[in-house]
């Protein structure tokens, strides 16, 4: 098995082959013998040259993280044989900017109307989650082109709340 793994922004080449009861790894060309057991889903016990590690895997729709002890590492795993496009999305700083909900919640108030001029950092609407009211602010100076949810609407993390241009 051959993978390209990006950990904390740095790319590594990883080869894994069965070797007896364990695995022979080649990480960026370096040979390492690894014993690996998956005691339950998302938990991996690794022994590398006598050192034991408990690794926890956390997956969301957009991210993959490996926890080594109490440290969290953002990881991307790719099969180099796949033809998947590797270019990440880029955000245009100048054009319209979407404001998305940072957490699920309920819209309790709109602070401006559509087509209003707003300053950077000016509040656009208020979302309540778990009894906290959080003001969602404009990331840039411009015109509020659209406010998507109505007062009382329930929003999920990542939903577009407003567009400022």
Residues 31-50 that bind another protein (CB under 8 A): 32, 34, 36, 38, 41-44, 46, 48
Which residue in the set 24, 64, 142, 146 belongs to the binding site for another protein (CB under 8 A)?
A: 64
Stretch 90-109: interaction string toward another protein, x if CB under 8 A: -x-----xxxxxxxxxx-x-
Which residue in the set 59, 115, 117, 151 belongs to the binding site for another protein (CB under 8 A)?
A: 59
Residues 2-31 that bind another protein (CB under 8 A): 3, 5, 7-8, 10, 12, 14, 16, 23, 25, 27
How many residues form the binding site for another protein (CB under 8 A)? 80
Does 141 participate in binding another protein (rule CB under 8 A)? no
Burial class (CB in 10 A: 0-12, 13-18, 19+), 24: middle
Nearer CB in complex with another protein: 100/116: 100
């Amino acid at each position: 098995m051959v993978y390209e793994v990006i950990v904390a922004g740095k790319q590594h080449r990883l080869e894994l082959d069965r070797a007896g009861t364990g695995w022979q790894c080649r990480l960026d060309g370096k040979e390492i013998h690894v014993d690996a057991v998956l005691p339950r889903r998302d938990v991996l016990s690794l022994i590398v040259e006598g050192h034991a590690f408990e690794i926890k895997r956390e997956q969301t729709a957009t991210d993959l993280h490996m926890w080594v002890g109490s440290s969290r590492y953002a990881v991307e795993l790719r099969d180099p044989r796949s033809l998947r496009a590797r270019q990440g999305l880029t955000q245009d700083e100048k054009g319209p900017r979407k404001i998305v909900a940072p957490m699920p919640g309920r819209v309790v108030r709109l602070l401006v109307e559509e087509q209003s001029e707003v300053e950077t950092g000016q509040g656009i609407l208020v979302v309540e989650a778990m009894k906290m009211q959080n003001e969602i602010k404009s990331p840039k100076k411009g015109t509020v082109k659209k406010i998507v949810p109505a007062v009382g609407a329930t929003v999920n993390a990542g939903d577009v709340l407003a567009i400022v241009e």
